Structure 1
Amino acid sequence: MSLTKKILFIFLLFCFSQFSYGQLTRDQYLKLESALGDQSFFSKHLSGFELYDLDSQTVVFERNSEQRFIPASTTKLFTLFAGVSILNDSTQTLRYTTQGDTIRIWGAGDPSWGYKELYQPEFKKFLAPFQTVIFSDANQDSPAFGYGWQWDDYYYDYSAERTSLPIFGNLVQVKRNGNRPVVSPKVFQSSVYPTQRSTRELERDFHSNRFYYNPNNFRGREEFIPFIYSPELFTQLASEATGKTWIYQSDSLPKENQVWRASPLLPILKEMMLESDNFLAEQTMLMVSDRIFQRLDTERAIEYLLKTYLFDLPDKPQWVDGSGLSRHNLMTPRTMVALFEKIYRMLPDDQLYELLPTGGVSGTIENSYQAQEPYIFAKTGTMSNNHSLVGLIKTKSGKIYCFAFMNSNYPYKASVVRREMEKVMVMIRDML
């Protein structure tokens, strides 16, 4: 082969590698480069993207896919994977031992009891044979709040405490009656006080279950407020709910015990994913830990999962909680895609689509990515200066691709970033 032909051959190979990246034509590649590259909206802040063909198992396009981002609630995809892998189809509700008419209970993390419209464990039926219920939370190692959570989120419903056996989602419900709040459980009503502070909602004291409202401008728009857990408060609420006397004793969980798996897992995972419910995510990780270790230790469960089920991710994630509330979580787009592919291979299609928010239809993207035929099925993640989307895109040709689109350190509203992301996703839908 002559020198000229060799040079031409090398040039053509170079062109092919540059302009036929994966399945893209030259024009398609340049369009994506223009939309995501150095002169685009996304060049003004840290942004990463990967588009992946699930059929051929190849990367179609990527930009900064090796960079680490704060994933916010897309962290819940890790929790979804953990829940499906470890818990299978049922919750971990209780561990217990019995002796005569006495039952000793250790919570296993199940968040269902009295929370939302979830399937309710039949506590009254389960406890019917017993006169005395002795409860212990000595099997919980994880603290009430996660590593890196913001301290001033304490009075928002998305930051309820993690406990071994929650009741009512560890929340006080607030309803407006004229210019005053009515709360439930009723035990908290006597701790509601008027104040002249300029607050428009019922607010809880930082250190206690004392609640304050201003009767002159009370709006009552915040429907739920976290309460501070204590064993004494819990046993009081549990006694009232079951008609049994619950007694608290901080006893260690014996090696020989029985497990009550009282609720289906899918409704919890569905609510967690569609509504991005932080409480359900955190409690799911406690259940995972209980299933593996008979201890409630999210950190230990995460370490185990990363060393076993997730050892082959492209970039080791810094994963610290179940919900994504922590700014210490760090993941790369290509790791999010690899994780999602595992979920995709694990779950039946109908179940997977049931769990994923659908653009213009359901969940956290009900008002975004709208189209006559839905084309985005993905989990969102948003906190101050961070917004991500990870999931599936269905293109005009009918093909399904996996993608991760992550953004950090932008100085504007998330809605601005979301609109620009939508332009990119529409372009991908239409050209592939």
Structure 2
Amino acid sequence: MFLLVFFSTNLFGQLNRDQYLKLESALGEGSFFNGHLTGFMLYDLDSQRVLYEKNSHQRFIPASTTKLFTLFSSLIVLNDSTQTLRYVTEGKTIKIWGSGDPSWKYKKFFQPEFREFLATYDKVLFSDANMMSPAFGYGWQWDDYYYNYSAERTSLPIYGNLVQVKKVGNAPTVFPPSFQPDIFPTQRTIRELERDFHSNKFYYNPNNFRAKEEFIPFITSPELFIKLASDATGKNWIYQPDSLPKIHQEWRGAPLFPILKEMMLESDNYLAEQLMLMVSDRLFQRLDTERAIEYMLKTYLYDLPDKPQWVDGSGLSRHDLITPRTMVALFEKIYRMVPDQQLFELLPTGGKSGTLENSYRAEQPYIFAKTGTMSNNHSLVGLIKGKSGKYYCFAFMNSNYPWKASEVRREMEKVMGMLREMI
């Protein structure tokens, strides 16, 4: 009886009976959302009350809303810049261990000055013995291997572990150019440049080639990395997989905030995975995503309502399972920690930016939230601004639907538009 009274007090804290019934009608029996598993929670950040919930205790595949966990971990553990390297020197020789920094020759991030850093050394030794996590995360789909959102994880990536593709005539030109000799024509009915599953050989059909897939992951290896690093720095890198000694130096590289912003706005999986490696490096001086997640759950996230099944940084895995009320609790932690201006820079804005640029449009933006989509799953977690001008936290999660994600998004938009008018 106590639980029922407590819940009822929270539920009707700011929603009247008619408003509650409207939400019940929009999300409950007979609604579009009754045809699959839907979870929802609306939370008043000021009064710290739950205003409405449906299935908020059920676990959902969060997809890219998992990146909110990565964001929180990065804000807690990392400082204002990435840590690019750990290293030791002896005379004219430097030995390097990567720390997971994703920025080297990737997008338009501030670049670590490798040439200047290595200028006084004649010999560069590289070790990846501190890399404990495999190239792919637990539960990632094997047939995503040639899509840019499934780049491999490495201790010191370069070019985002991606080959860039441009169309010249009817053929592809790739960057870095060292991959160009591995481009071959084929008569298979393919429209993009496709990589072989087991090797860095790429194929295209001259009759159908479109080059809409601008980036394709390459298979990483120590041998390939030292070749690319040698070309990029003008120094001869040598692979020598020795353990990281206790006494060593650190080299910090790129500003962190632009990386967090790009991860959140564009839902960049590669950045999310590398961020979790950097978190692990900072905590344990080894790159172990699983251990970093375990640490975060036992320390800063021990008080979440329902313990998440959280296995990667990006949300690519179908083994991630999280409840809406845990998502709300996590978001509140971020909300209390990050200054408002920075938080709104990090969150996709309805009709304006990131993954919400083409949805939730209004004269005055009212949705500021992280999206998460994979086949049969779509979620949205963040802030809604009511007509009153007040902000509320929400989690809206959907799993196991048979329709296109665009149809689910349209129906979600109707609910959120209605909710905006209420609050």
- The TM tier, using the shorter chain, reads over 0.9
In structure 1, what is the Cα distance between the partners aligned to 2:404 and 2:420?
25
1:129-148 alignment runs, 5 A limit: 129-148=120-139
Deviation, 1:92, is: 1.8
**1:159 and 2:150 are equivalent in the alignment:** yes
Question: Match of 1:225?
Answer: 216
SS at structure 2 position matched to 1:92: strand
* Alignment counterpart, residue 83 of structure 2, candidates 80, 92, 105: 92
The one of 416, 423, 428 aligned to 2:419: 428
Q: Determine what percentage of the aligned residue pairs are the same residue.
A: 78
Judge conservation of contact 1:47–1:405 (CA < 8 Å) in 2: yes
Structure 2 length-normalised TM: 0.98
Map 1:157-196 to 2 at 5 A. 157-196=148-187
Whether the 8 Å CA contact 2:161–2:218 is kept in 1: the answer is yes
Relative to structure 1, the CA distance from residue 293 to residue 413 in structure 2 (aligned partners, 3 Å threshold; closer, same or farther) is: same
Deviates further, 218-227 or 383-392:
218-227
- 1:19 to 1:188, Cα distance in 2 relative to 1, 3 A: closer
The structure that has the greater radius of gyration is 1
Deviation, 1:280, is: 0.2
> What RMSD in Å do the two structures reach over aligned CA positions?
1.4
Report the equivalent of 1:305.
Answer: 296
| 1:226-285 CA-partner distances (Å, limit 9, x unpaired) | 001111110011011111111000111111111111111000000000000000000000
Q: How does 1:29-428 map to 2 (within 5 A)?
A: 29-428=20-419
Partners of 2:52 and 2:348 in 1: how far apart? Answer: 24
2:372, 2:329 → 1: CA distance?
A: 17
Partner of residue 5, structure 1: none
Residue 133 of structure 1, CA deviation: 0.6
Q: Which moved further from structure 2: 47-56 or 88-97?
A: 88-97
Check the 8 A contact 1:22/1:61 in 2, yes or no. Answer: no
Q: Secondary structure at the match of 1:301?
A: helix
Q: CA deviation at 1:90?
A: 1.1
Gaps of 5+ in 2: none
| Distance in 2, Cα, partners of 1:344 & 1:278 | 22
TM-score (norm 1): 0.96
Alpha-carbon distance in structure 1 between the residues aligned to 2:211 and 2:382: 36
Count how many residue pairs are aligned between Structure 1 and Structure 2. 420
For the residues of structure 2 that align with 1:30 and 1:157, how far apart are their CA atoms? 44
Q: CA deviation at 1:88?
A: 2.2
Deviations 1:184-236 (A, max 9, x none): 11111011111111111111100000111111211111111100111111001
Q: Which moved more, 1:302-311 or 1:249-258?
A: 249-258
Once the two structures are superposed, residues 37-60 of structure 1 have per-residue CA deviations (whole angstroms, 9 ceiling, x without a partner) of 122111110000000000011101
What secondary structure is seen at the aligned counterpart in 2 of 1:201?
Answer: coil
- Deviating above 6 A after TM superposition, structure 1's stretches of 4 or more consecutive aligned residues are none
Contact map agreement 2:183 2:202 (CA 8 A) in 1: yes
Contact 2:195 2:202 in 1 (8 A): yes
**CA separation in 2, counterparts of 1:25 and 1:181?**
61
CA distance in structure 1 between the aligned counterparts of 2:161 and 2:254, rounded to whole angstroms = 18
Question: Cα distance, 1:17 vs. partner?
Answer: 3.7
Give me the whole-angstrom Cα distance separating, in 1, the residues matched to 2:46 and 2:120: 54
Alpha-carbon distance between aligned partners in 2 of 1:20 and 1:299, rounded to the nearest angstrom: 37
Q: Which amino acid aligns with 1:74?
A: T
Q: How far apart are 1:18 and its partner, in Å?
A: 8.0
Change in CA separation of 1:20 and 1:344 when aligned onto 2, cut-off 3 Å = closer
Question: Is the 1:132–1:245 Cα contact (8 Å) retained in structure 2?
Answer: yes
Letter in 2 for 1:119: F
Provide structure 1 residue ranges, at least 5 long, that are not aligned to the other structure.
1-9
SS in 1 for 2:81: coil
Letter in 1 for 2:336: R
Task: Output the CA distance in 2 between the equivalents of 1:43 and 1:221.
Answer: 37
Give the whole-Å Cα distance in 2 for the aligned partners of 1:295 and 1:234: 19
Which residue number corresponds to residue 7 of structure 1?
none
Q: Aligned partners of 1:149, 1:379: CA distance in 2, in Å?
A: 20
